[in-house]
Structure 1
Amino acid sequence: MLLVTGATGLNGQLAVREFARNGSPARALVRDCAKARAAGLDRLAGIELVEADMRRAATLGAALAGVERVLMISGAAPDMAETQCTFIDACKAAGVRHIIKFSGSEPGSDPTRFRFTRMHEEIEDYLEGSGLAWTHLRPSQFMQVYLREAHDIATTGTLRLPFEDIALSPVDAADIARVAYLLLRDGGHEGESLEMTGPEALTMDDIAGHISTAIGTTVAYVRITPDERRRELLARGLPAYFVDALDEQTEERLKNPVAKVLAATHRMFGVRPTSFIEFLQRHAAAFSGKPT
């Protein structure tokens, strides 16, 4: 049996849907079956939903029974390291053989300077010392984070970010899900760290230009300060701990103005890298403010 955790989140849900799309059975661990049903996961052929909490080993018996490999994903929360290390222990006790850790990385940046990449490295170290087979899947920034800006883009025609003139290499989460599906289904790649980026390094002016092309309306990149961004995010209702983390991430990104482009993992699994313009065309309605 194969298990995907965090199955109602962005990346877990995409991975589960890859299993269903390919007619491959899998088990999906969720903390709230009602949320999973609202997302339609209960209607996916071959997907078995199991409700449990990664932080509470006593709830994980049914989820881990007969499981050989796990794709381990949990949300970017202050207790992420504790949650995943607890889950690793439960996997070992249940006889799971191989954990594929959905991690995170921005090649060239100092991972200790951003709390979530720092936690990912702590978890990776713990997993490597657990005695279980391991693989780290380490994507860079997701293209999907720009959907957070879609409302402002649609209403103001501007992309307001504190990234000056740096270039980033965002990767489509759907590409990551395709790799995660193949890795979980087929196994292998034990003891490997697999980094993934998108196929091109893009400045924010590039991104604004691509959005303009996709929706047929001019979108301008407006350079704002980190303090302005912080105030805007808090006004949107984002938790303070998450805004603090994004401040750290921005500070580190500004020290590394040109992101690396790494295509080896895409090639290894035969996944064609999705370009940013292709991603935007798929989500043009959101960026233009039109109902889907």
Structure 2
Amino acid sequence: MILVTGATGLNGKAIVREFARQKHEARALVRDLDRASAAGLGGLAGIDLIEGDMRRADTLGAALNGIDRVLMISTAAEDMVETQCRFIDACKQAGVAHVVKFSGAESNIGYDATKFRFTRMHEEIERYLEAVGMAWTHLRPSQFMQVYLRDAPTIATEGAFYLALGDTELSPVDVEDIAKVAVRLLCDGGHEGESLDMTGPEALTMSDIAARISQAVGRPVRYVDVSPRERRRNLLAAGVPADFADALDEQLAERLRRPKSRVHLATHEMFGVRPTPFVEFARRHAAMFGG
């Protein structure tokens, strides 16, 4: 049996839905059954929703009972290391054979992971998992295409989005591609002791992304380059907590230092998943981008 944690988050939800779409059974760990049902996870064929908290082993008995493989996802928060390491211990205690850690990897060439706190956290958890004695695999996607849906309101109303990336390239990957790979990996097994990086099929500047959204919605969309200080003000005004904005400042500074991005499609190819081009993603979400 397979368990997916973080099932109400962006990636967890996509992965659980992909299990249902492919008619595979899986168990989904959620902290609140009502919230999970409201998020669209209730009633999915073959999906067993079960309540528990990754940070509290005493709530995980039923969730981990009979589980062979786990996909471990949790929120990028200040307590991520403690949360995931405690959960790894609970998996070990319950006799889980294989933990797949949903991690992350920047696509920028020469990127120094130590400059971004959440990448440092992912690497610390990876090391802990590798040492604990279970089979492990790290699934390490780059930036998600879905990040740009945050900019849909200004794209729809102003025909523009505002970031501080200059001419920096990124290689965003579609969350739906990640979900297809994750389901294949969890159902088929194997790949123990491997780190599987994923990017999208194109290295794109923000102007390139604007052009692809323009193509999808049939009207001009501009990228407006703002200063890092203005970007931070915009984040705080949108309700982003100050400590999370600090982390994003670290990430931005390193991306600006390393403006070229790599494309890595070996994981797509390994699992027979066609990489989604950004324009195809934008067309799928044209109603949001176009208002």
TM-score norm. by structure 1 comes to 0.98
SS in 2 for 1:167: coil
Partner residue, 1:16: 16
The one-letter code sitting in structure 2 at the alignment partner of 1:205 is: S
Q: Deviations over 1:81-127 (max 9, x none)?
A: 11000000000000001000000001431111111111000000000
Q: CA separation in 2, counterparts of 1:190 and 1:26?
A: 20
Q: CA separation in 2, counterparts of 1:229 and 1:169?
A: 21
Q: CA separation in 1, counterparts of 2:211 and 2:224?
A: 12
Provide runs of 4+ in structure 1 moved above 2 Å: none
Say if 2:250 is the partner of 1:248. Answer: yes
The unaligned stretches of length 5 or more in structure 1 are: none
SS in 2 for 1:168: coil
Count residues in correspondence: 289
Q: Deviations over 1:184-241 (max 9, x none)?
A: 1111000000000000000111011111111111111111011000000100111112
Q: 1:125 aligns with which of 127, 135, 149?
A: 127
The one-letter code sitting in structure 1 at the alignment partner of 2:21 is: R
Q: Deviations over 1:4-28 (max 9, x none)?
A: 0000001001111111001110000
Q: CA separation in 1, counterparts of 2:38 and 2:168?
A: 39
Partner residue, 1:90: 90
Partner residue, 1:27: 27
The one-letter code sitting in structure 2 at the alignment partner of 1:9 is: G
Q: CA separation in 1, counterparts of 2:77 and 2:255?
A: 21
Say if 2:40 is the partner of 1:40. Answer: yes
Partner residue, 2:227: 225
Q: CA separation in 2, counterparts of 1:47 and 1:17?
A: 9
Partner residue, 2:78: 78
How many percent identity over aligned positions?
69
The one-letter code sitting in structure 2 at the alignment partner of 1:81 is: V
Partner residue, 1:178: 180
Partner residue, 1:201: 203
| CA RMSD, Structure 1 to Structure 2 (Å) | 0.7
Q: CA separation in 2, counterparts of 1:168 and 1:250?
A: 12
Deviation at 1:40, TM superposition (A): 2.3
SS in 1 for 2:100: strand
Q: Which moved more, 1:34-43 or 1:274-283?
A: 34-43
Q: 2:194 aligns with which of 169, 192, 195?
A: 192
Q: CA separation in 2, counterparts of 1:81 and 1:110?
A: 19
Q: CA separation in 2, counterparts of 1:119 and 1:144?
A: 22
The one-letter code sitting in structure 2 at the alignment partner of 1:284 is: A
Deviation at 1:39, TM superposition (A): 1.7
TM-score norm. by structure 2 comes to 0.98
